[in-house]
Structure 1
């Protein structure tokens, strides 16, 4: 199982070297460790390309980054290099190349044995037996990675079901995977259309931390990469603070929340029971931990909607101080409403599967 990582994208042919370096330095401070570096728009000669990319990649390596170069066949032709000799990319200091366009499977398998031991990153955004074909030709599997596309044009990103199907093909083989989220302020991408650079269309207008929460929650993506440049310092910090291994739900607290309820809600590791119900997500360990703590009925409404968080009050007998996340509307005077998950985040409740670990953080 691969540890989860964060990445940024830079576009040296559309940006300033000093600005790129400053951006990478800030990203490194926030726990980012991967770079997606586009070479799809190279227009300078080989020597100029070597100087510019080598400088930036060496600087990045000093900050602890690994770098994948996004390449296409026309770049090989333009620079006079061959898929049978990847030494040029190794001299730049790259750790891998992403094949923007595929071949016949046999070719990719052969490339994966390159003597420079560069990783070969494959396009994940097709629900076909592309990976199976490559592996059937005896590919060097430890050097095969997967990365989804991003989509600069509004309305062209992947739908969730299709994304899941594509990603599951790679996860079935234990291949490391990556996908893109979009900064809401970044303006730089590979092309002259830039409506954001997410993989999933549903992410295009969402806050960047919610996009990343979702990708990690799918349990299909190992690395979340910001597709456009430059994300704001606050966006980088938000992703740096993100828990990559369990869902942490934002909640707005109810004014009448009791001190014991606040502690139960915010200061505990929650686990969904394995014997699940459609009505609520049940976190039951806390009721045992706080069974002696009084918790009178509060004056909030006891009509609950999906996304409300409730805790059993003194009238709930042995279930007093059990925490529940509401999945379906219902009424129950024995439960106190203590918080609400924002409407924009409620789709994450679908990822609270049996035995899922989850936490809360108060936003107001």
Structure 2
């Protein structure tokens, strides 16, 4: 009979894995689960974590890590229970997306006693359908953009994310502000055939007469822009 075994990914060595494979251990029956760290400043460093997890994935292993909760911290320290120190105090949703997208983690667990249902739903949407729910504030005339699944253009610019929404001619010129990271813009009639194109701004950009600012992403969710690729879909959600 075979057992499914969870090994401590935080301390397991590659030499151990080589010896296990040479001994005929079925890696399909293994999962590598990282520790969580209740005490501030004791969590794993992000660079080392990423490097180690990508190596474990090269072995064909399933990996699992923890993010903090946002509804109820666990006793006795109540400081959050992440695997990676940089995620302490971060939304479990944003932390989970970073683990999955940047470090190739398979399973994400909530280390603390409780997380909000909203964030759990957001995590599942990303795991199942590669959908990012992004809470934002849109100007009144653009409320129709809320709550619809929007695809991202396959050709990815460096400083902004172009959304695959229908363009509209003759968009009036208004709110042509500096385009800070997290700004949502729509091209106006000065952009000619690009009029009506909607973008998410990934880097701080200057004033552009052709770009109307139509909304702002909530600061808690701006980090998600770094994890959007050509296969990602997004849903704008009203701030709650």
The TM-score bracket by the shorter chain reads: 0.7 to 0.9
The 8 Å contact of residues 81 and 111 in structure 2, kept in 1 or not, is answered as yes
Alignment of 1:295-306 (within 5 A): 295-298=171-174, 300-306=175-181
The structure with higher relative contact order (CA 8 Å, sep 6+) is 2
Cα deviation per residue 1:267-292 (whole Å; 9 max; x = unaligned)?
24222433x33221222x32xxx235
1:319/1:237 CA distance change after superposition, 3 Å: closer
When the two chains are superposed, the root-mean-square deviation of aligned CA atoms in Å is 2.6
With structure 1 as the length reference, what TM-score do the two structures score? 0.57
User: Are 1:281 and 2:165 an aligned pair?
Assistant: no
Equivalent-residue separation in structure 1 for 2:9 and 2:176 (angstroms): 47
The 8 Å contact of residues 186 and 199 in structure 2, kept in 1 or not, is answered as yes
With structure 2 as the length reference, what TM-score do the two structures score? 0.83
1:291/1:282 CA distance change after superposition, 3 Å: closer
Which one of the candidate residues 189, 198, 203 is aligned to 1:314?
189
1:340/1:142 CA distance change after superposition, 3 Å: same
Aligned to 1:49: none
Where 1:156 maps in the other structure, the secondary structure is coil
Q: Which runs of 5+ in 2 are unaligned?
A: none
Aligned to 2:74: 187
In the TM superposition, what is the alpha-carbon distance from 1:194 to its structure 2 partner? 4.9
Q: Which runs of 5+ in 1 are unaligned?
A: 1-114
Aligned to 2:104: 220
Aligned to 2:34: 148
1:221/1:187 CA distance change after superposition, 3 Å: same
In the TM superposition, what is the alpha-carbon distance from 1:174 to its structure 2 partner? 3.0
Computing the radius of gyration from Cα coordinates, the structure with the larger value is 1
Cα deviation per residue 1:64-105 (whole Å; 9 max; x = unaligned)?
xxxxxxxxxxxxxxxxxxxxxxxxxxxxxxxxxxxxxxxxxx
The 8 Å contact of residues 258 and 295 in structure 1, kept in 2 or not, is answered as no
In the TM superposition, what is the alpha-carbon distance from 1:131 to its structure 2 partner? 3.1
The 8 Å contact of residues 177 and 213 in structure 2, kept in 1 or not, is answered as yes
Aligned to 1:339: 215
Aligned to 2:3: 118
In the TM superposition, what is the alpha-carbon distance from 1:363 to its structure 2 partner? 3.1
